[in-house]
Amino acid sequence: MYKYVDKLARGCALLGGSALFALILMVCLSIIGRSLNGVLHLESVQSAFPVAAAWLLDLGIGPVNGDYEIVEAGMAFTVFAFLPICQLQLAHASVNILNSVLSPNLKRVLALLTDVVFALVLVLIAWKLFEGMESKRSSQQVTFLLQYPLWWAYACSMLGATVAALVGVYMAVMRFLELVNRRDLLPAEAGSSH
């Protein structure tokens, strides 16, 4: 089962990474376009190269229209897309002050409590994103510049949040089984411990 959950989490992370790459590329193009647009509007460029400057401006050289809206929606998706792999690999930052002096069974109890809380929070986030998406869909709200439906961004974010919730529930169940069987069933913590 771990293998399938791992593939799901990695697939979600790959989607998030692809979205992040596309956002970075779009922001770079928008900055370059904004800068070129500014240069093409300079009086010195307009007088030295009037035909070329007008032609390039007519092509639409400038910032990407709605770049802020795209980044806002894309980054929300990206954050939620990386949550499942972070949860599965226990890559959240943790402070383990007493962990070295606890017995293996107490460590399992602590891990179970932590993963149950994470699962509950992740399920709550996915549920609230669903409610937000339904609210935006029913009110037909759209973004200011691009006029795309706002619920699309909620739906994309909800995809990552739902996978994160599934991974969180899986982790909580596995921690319970570890406690009952008194042996580790999941890989050791890979996260950042301080």
Domain boundaries, given as residue ranges, for the chain: 2-90+98-181
Give residue 101's pLDDT. 83
Identify the segments of the chain with pLDDT beneath 50: 191-194
Give residue 189's pLDDT. 57
Model pTM score:
0.83
The alpha carbon dihedral of 101, 107, 109, 111 has a sign of positive
Non-local (6+) Cβ contacts of 58 within 8 A are: none
- The span from the CA of 158 to the CA of 135, in Å, is 14
Give residue 106's pLDDT. 87
- The span from the CA of 194 to the CA of 191, in Å, is 10
* One-letter identity of residue 107: K
The alpha carbon dihedral of 79, 82, 87, 92 has a sign of negative
Give residue 80's pLDDT. 95
- The span from the CA of 185 to the CA of 181, in Å, is 9
Give residue 139's pLDDT. 96
Give residue 192's pLDDT. 44
Give residue 188's pLDDT. 63
Give residue 194's pLDDT. 41
Q: What does the buried/exposed string (b/e) look like for 113-146 if buried means 16 or more CB atoms within 10 Å of the residue's CB?
A: ebbbebbeebbebbeebeebbeebeeeeeebeee
Give residue 193's pLDDT. 45
